[in-house]
Amino acid sequence: MNRQPHAKSREIIVASAIEQVVAELRLIDVADYIAFIRLEHFACLSDLVDSAAELFFMRGTLRLGHGGEAHVDWHGNPRIVLDLELRPPGVTVYFQLTLSGDDATVMVNYVSFEKPGEDPEHNTALLEAVIDEARIRRVEPLAF
């Protein structure tokens, strides 16, 4: 798939938005990811993603896309690639999250806007705003 011209700036937005979710996903043993992917138990993988995402985003905002890949060999760290979809209202971001022993990376493949503007920077700002709106926020109790 050809990457969109503004993918890099949008990758930064997506990566920072899901940073806490990634921390939750890292709590899951890598062997579980490998087993679910190799045995094609994508419903189990989807449940893991949903459970991590529901702590920080409204239901259905972040979910597993078409599956994932487990890159495991005898000469290095395992690498887990998850196809994810970020779906705040009015926007869909298709991206891959790669988890490895040392880091996590995001690669945005495509961003679809329900009502895109003419200016790509405006669309990027819109993406950031709708992701922020889809977050779950703690409401501070009122002081009387």
Distance CA 121, CA 119 (A): 5
Burial 85-96, CB ≥16 within 10 A → b, else e: bbbbeebebbbb
C-alpha closest to that of 86 among 110, 104, 103, 67: 110
Contact 122, 144 (CB under 8 A): no
Rg of the chain over CA atoms, in angstroms? 16
Instruction: Output the tens digit of pLDDT for each of the chain's 144 residues.
Output: 566 667 788 999 999 999 999 999 999 999 999 999 999 999 999 999 999 999 999 999 999 999 999 999 998 889 999 999 999 999 999 999 999 988 999 999 999 999 888 888 889 999 999 999 999 975 455 566
Burial 60-78 (b: 16+ CB within 10 A, else e): ebbebbeebebebeeeeee
